[in-house]
Structure 1
Amino acid sequence: MADATTSVEALKDGIRRFAAARGWEPYHTPKNLAMALASEVGELCDILRWLTAEESVAAASDAVTRAALADELADIANIVFLLSVHTGIDLSDAVAVKMTKNAIKYPAPA
C-alpha cells in the first residue's frame, strides 16, 4: 500500500473491518475515540519531546525512531478513520472545506 495508490475509503474500510472482527464497535463512541486520539498523539509527542528542532527533523533518519514514529502515526490515522466512520463525516470533503476556510483565514502573501 502507498499513499499515492490507496484511497481513504479503503483505509477506513480496513480499520472498520479490523475493529468489527474484534467486537470493538460498542467502545467506538465519538467521545472514546477522541480520548484515544489524544492518548495516541501524546505517545507521538513522547518520541519527540526533548529533541531540539534539528534533532526532530532528523529523527526519521534513524531506523528505530522512524519505526516508532510510523507506529504512532498509524495509530492516530486509524483512530481518525474510525472517528470519521462513527460520525459519518467524509474526511476528504472535510479536509477540502477546511482548506478553503484556511485559505481565507490565512491568505498567502502577495
Structure 2
Amino acid sequence: MTAPAAPSATDSLLALRELTRRFAAERDWRQFHTPKNLAMALTVEAAELAEHFQWLRTGADAELDDARRTGIRHELADVLLYLVQLADQCGVDLHAAALEKMALNAAKYPADLVRGDARKYDQY
C-alpha cells in the first residue's frame, strides 16, 4: 500500500480559502471583506511583517531571536490569509496566477542574461 500523496499547492490554497470563508461566516464578517478592505488589511500586515526586520543589519537568521521568529511567522500567516481572502473576493486562482507570473518573469528576466545582476529588466 502506498502512502497518500501530499496535498498540492492548489489543494492547500483551496483548503485555506475554505477555512477563511468559514471563519468569517461564523463571525458575520464577510460583509466587511470587500476587495478594498482586504487589500488595505494585507498592506497593514505586510508592514507589520517588515517591522520585525526594521533596524536589523540584514534580517538573516543569526539576527533573529525566538520571539522575533514567532512574530515573523504570525505576520507571514496574516499576510497569506488576507491574500487568500482577497483572491477569493476577486475571483483569482492564486496558484494559477503565480504560475502565470513566474512564466512572465522568466521571459522578462532570462537567466543567462540577468544571472547575478539585480538591475530591473529595463536597465540592462
Q: TM-score band, normalised by the shorter chain?
A: 0.7 to 0.9
Q: Determine the C-alpha separation between the residues in 1 that align with 2:78 and 2:99.
A: 23
Which structure's residues are more often helix, by fraction? 1
Q: Percent identity?
A: 44
User: Which structure has the larger Rg?
Assistant: 2
Q: Work out whether residues 59 and 65 of structure 1, in 8 Å CA contact, stay in contact via their aligned partners in 2.
A: no
Runs of 4 or more above 3 Å deviation: none
**1:54-84 CA distance string (max 9 Å, x none):** xx11268521111100110010000000001
RMSD of equivalent CA atoms: 1.7
Q: What count of residue pairs does the alignment treat as equivalent?
A: 105
Unaligned runs of 5+ in 1: none
Instruction: Give, in whole Å, the separation in 2 of the partners of 1:60 and 1:87.
Output: 38
* Aligned pairs for 1:1-110 within 5 A: 5=7, 7-53=12-58, 56-58=59-61, 62-109=65-112
Could you tell me whether the CA contact under 8 Å between 1:59 and 1:66 is conserved in 2?
no
Runs (5+) with no aligned partner, structure 2? 1-5, 114-124
Secondary structure at 1:51's aligned position in 2? coil
